[in-house]
Amino acid sequence: MRTFDLVIIGTGSANSIVNERFADWNVAFVEAGKFGGTCLNMGCIPTKMFVHTAEVAYTPSEAARLGVDETFNAVDWPAVRDRIFGRIDPIEAGGREWRATNSPNQTVFAGEGRFTGPKQLTVTVDSVEETITAPKFVIAAGGRPQLLEVEGLAELPGVYTSDTVMRIDELPSRMVIVGAGFIAAEFAHVFSSFGVEVTVLCRSEAMLRAQDDDVSARFTELAQERWDVRLNTQISKAEQIDDGIRLHTTSGAIDTELVLVAIGRVPNTDRLNPEATGVELHPDGRIKVDEHQRTNVEGIFALGDISSDYQLKHVANHEARVVHHNLLHPDSPKASDHRFVPEAVFTHPQVAKVGLTEREARERGINFITATQDYADIAYGWAMEDTTGFLKLLADPDTGQLLGAHIIGPQASTLIQPLIQAMSFGLPARKMATDQYWIHPAMPELVENALLKLDLPH
Ligand code: NAP
């Protein structure tokens, strides 16, 4: 059995752990899928490249209210797709090649790994099995799309997930998206901007339900104006028809060419079998870790989607930095900081949040005040003729500290950043509003005005 100093399972965020500080370590990298993980290959990066393209394609729809007469003609799908993956795929290949050749101390196993005993991982590369061991492991093998268990669906061609839908051969004329979360909201924007007729099947009464209720309600209202959004709808059966797929749903039969299933993601622990090395799991299959990203087995760390409460690349990267430190300094370990984890949904309009929603604050019995600022009432909002966007803040009336921020509207993912900073560094809301300049008439005036609206004594 080959022995390494460290085995890294999954080459998304965990790939960055091993730098020159590990030059003397004999490290194995095990990667069953694409090098670089979900974010690079089928997540954040290609989707945002599609989203930006969608924003360009969507401009004519917004131009008329500004008095500009623009028309959308068509999208050259193969050109868009190949431009994006023509950039992504070489990065993936380059990353793999670099790891394989960079150092004699580093070995890449391009195959599936499965724990078969205490600190023993059996890797299968080109049908050849080899068992490797090490005193230290980092498990960062991520997750994959949850599949939808509906009679007939799995056997049908034309059913995709976020792993596969970005590489389709041609655009369909219509598609159904099952789910109403991040992925559904982003791809509905992308494909409808490209001219596809989109139907969204939402099993509950609102899209983006994990957002603050006001944001979720506003987004659902806007989505219903743009897409055929079927609320409180579930699929009971799917079947092949002459020109596509028929979905039998609680809102009637829907015929479509393509189905995108976007109903959440599951951790890859079932494939990895960490129980064989004694690692404990949560009931939902994620690996249990402490604040230092340590599992219950000495020397085994986990990070990212396979263990985290957050399926977000910036969280996985943070956790990877913590593991990097803790591998090198086991006697003075760092803890992960999950206090103010922000997120953004790159749909249209954009949505971003940090901290507590109003519902969460109520459920936790936290005393709070709120203030809401519409884009329509700031100068740049006038320039954009925005009538639907807003920023909602929650603050502690006693300390003046921000508790949460929720934005729906243009550049939400950027506008949220000073609020993340204020919360992370404990900057009181009133001080933040008054003790610095805010560029007039720039979009951050949305933040300034919302802060000033909070009814705080100081
Ligand atoms: P998601 O955001 O958790 O949303 C899942 C959606 O599927 C919800 O609308 C949920 O409905 C619905 N759903 C769940 N089970 C269902 C079922 N059996 N039948 C029908 N609908 C069902 O999940 P996602 O969109 O798949 O994204 C996965 C994760 O990837 C996200 O949570 C996020 O962390 C990450 N992600 C991040 C970004 C970003 O950072 N911009 C982009 C994409 C993905 P309910 O509301 O009723 O529960």
Q: What is the CATH number of the domain that holds 231?
A: 3.50.50.60
Domain that holds residue 83: 2-144+266-328
Q: Are residues 84 and 136 in the same domain?
A: yes
Q: Are residues 98 and 232 in the same domain?
A: no
Read off the CATH number of the domain in which 443 is found. 3.30.390.30
Q: Return the best residue to mutate from 263, 310, 407 for the ligand 1 pocket (most ligand atoms within 8 A of CB).
A: 263
Look at residues 192, 264, 184 and name the one whose alpha carbon lies nearest to residue 216.
184
Residue 440 is among the residues annotated as catalytic for this protein = yes
The answer to whether the CB of 346 is under 6 A from ligand 1 is yes
Give 181 Cα–ligand 1 centroid separation in angstroms: 4
Tokens representing 229? 């959004």
Q: Are residues 257 and 360 in the same domain?
A: no
Half-sphere exposure of 299 (CA within 13 A, CB side): 14
Give a yes or no: residue 333 inside a domain: no
Q: Are residues 164 and 92 in the same domain?
A: no
Q: Return the best residue to mutate from 151, 265, 314 for the ligand 1 pocket (most ligand atoms within 8 A of CB).
A: 265
Q: CA-to-CA distance for 182 and 145, rounded, in angstroms? A: 12
H-run or E-run covering 102: helix 77-102
Give a yes or no: residue 149 inside a domain: no
DSSP 3-state assignment of 156? coil
DSSP 3-state assignment of 239? strand
Tokens representing 430? 């009133």
What is the model's pTM? Answer: 0.98
Q: Are residues 251 and 272 in the same domain?
A: no
Q: State the closest ligand 1 atom to the C-alpha of 179, by its place in the atom list counted from 1.
A: 7
Q: State the closest ligand 1 atom to the C-alpha of 149, by its place in the atom list counted from 1.
A: 18
Q: CA-to-CA distance for 344 and 352, rounded, in angstroms? A: 4
Give a yes or no: residue 343 inside a domain: no
Q: Are residues 6 and 137 in the same domain?
A: yes
* Domain count within the chain: 3
The answer to whether the CB of 264 is under 6 A from ligand 1 is yes
Give a yes or no: residue 203 inside a domain: yes
Residues of the chain with pLDDT under 50: none
Do 280 and 295 touch, CB atoms closer than 8 A?
yes
Task: Tell how strand 235-241 and strand 6-9 pair up.
Answer: unpaired
DSSP string, 359-389: HHHHHTT---EEEEEEGGGSHHHHHHT--S-
The sign of the CA dihedral 183, 185, 191, 193 is: negative
Give a yes or no: residue 335 inside a domain: no
Q: Are residues 197 and 319 in the same domain?
A: no
Residues contacting 268, CB < 8 A, separation 6+: 141, 142, 143, 144, 306
Do 352 and 308 touch, CB atoms closer than 8 A?
no
Look at residues 350, 391, 60 and name the one whose alpha carbon lies nearest to residue 219.
350
Give a yes or no: residue 209 inside a domain: yes
Last residue of a domain, one of 237, 263, 289: 263
